[in-house]
Amino acid sequence: DIQMTQSPSSLSASVGDVVTITCRASQTISSYLNWYQRKPGKAPKLLIYAASSLQSGVPSRFSGSGSGTDFTLTISSLQPEDFATYLCQQSYSSPQTFGQGTKVEIK
Amino acid sequence: EVQLLESGGGLVQPGGSLRLSCAASGFTFSSYAMSWVRQAPGKGLEWVSAVSGSGGTTYYADSVKGRFTISRDNSKNTLYLQMNSLRAEDTAVYFCAKNGYNTGWYDYWGQGALVTVSS
């Protein structure tokens, strides 16, 4: 199975900050990398698919980049509603696997 | 608006069975593959199973192969997961998820159904 490693596991940031989260795959996955947002008690929400494509309805402050094994999710100006856990997922090969998550907390 | 609503979770003894359902609305159900993803307490998300839009092709994680069966009734817009020979390690919140068209990402998820396997 392909292992997905996110860093950091958590971070503290303030409203307006630029936040960068990294996801590394244990082997190349081309651009088959997707990002989700999770809030307690709510269904996960797709933010970015295919490494850099913004899901419809997702604010443009979210962006993704990378290919191969290294990927980044960037929030350009953190908003109060963005405090959540962010997960990456590879859809290159079965079984699809997820990163362990990065919790973004209020500083 | 796309909605996915899971039901059927609960407490079951080891070795027992349970069937989860996921009622879908807001999209052409038969056109999309559907999946089940779970999260055990303190663990990350784990893909469990997937089924093609027609229901003719199914996929399973090794951890559930031979014990779980995924199916769908396109006339009822409902996805199912029949879980047999349940083990303590199957305890998790089970999410129903809609795959993007011909893709491996999940563009909509349900709220989840808690399955607890314990004596």
A91 in Cβ contact with B104 (< 8 Å): yes
β-strand partners of A24? A5, A70
Q: What is the pLDDT of residue A41?
A: 84
Closest CA–CA distance from residue A35 to any residue of chain B (Å) = 9
From A41, A46, A95, residue closest to B107, measured CB to CB: A46
**Beta strand segments in B26-91, E:** 34-39, 45-51, 58-60, 68-73, 78-83
Residue/partner pairs of B68-73 with CB below 8 Å, 24 or more apart:
B70/B36, B72/B29, B72/B34
For the cut 90, the answer to whether the pLDDT of residue A106 exceeds it is no
B2 in Cβ contact with B97 (< 8 Å): no
Percent of chain B residues past pLDDT 90, beyond the cut: 95
Closest Cα partner for A92 from A70, A76, A68, A71? A68
Confidence of residue A100 (pLDDT cuts 50, 70, 90): very high
What is the rounded CA–CA span in Å between residue A80 and residue B29?
A: 34
Q: What share of chain B is helix, strand, coil (3-state, %, to 5)?
A: 5, 50, 45
Task: Share the mean pLDDT of chain B.
Answer: 96
- Please state the rounded mean pLDDT for residues A55-59: 96
Question: How does pLDDT run across B58-82, given as a tens digit for each residue?
Answer: 999 999 999 999 999 999 999 999 9
Query: A43, B4: Cβ pair inside 8 Å?
Result: yes
Percent of chain B residues past pLDDT 70, beyond the cut: 100
Question: How does pLDDT run across A62-90, given as a tens digit for each residue?
Answer: 999 999 999 999 999 999 999 999 999 99
Q: Which residues in A lie closer than 8 A to residue B111 (C-beta atoms)? A: 41-43
Terminal CA-to-CA distance of chain B, rounded, Å?
40
A75 in Cβ contact with A64 (< 8 Å): no
Q: Which residues in B lie closer than 8 A to residue A47 (C-beta atoms)? A: none
Q: What is the pLDDT of residue A5?
A: 98
Is B111 an 8 Å CB contact of chain A?
A: yes
Give residue B96's identity as a one-letter amino acid code: C
For the cut 90, the answer to whether the pLDDT of residue B103 exceeds it is no
Q: Which of residues 17-76 of A touch B (CB under 8 A)?
A: 32, 34, 36, 41-46, 49-50, 55
Closest CA–CA distance from residue A45 to any residue of chain B (Å) = 7
For A96, the enclosing helix (H) or strand (E) is none
DSSP B36-47: EEEE-TTS-EEE
Instruction: Give the chain A residue whose CA is nearest to the CA of B4.
Output: A43
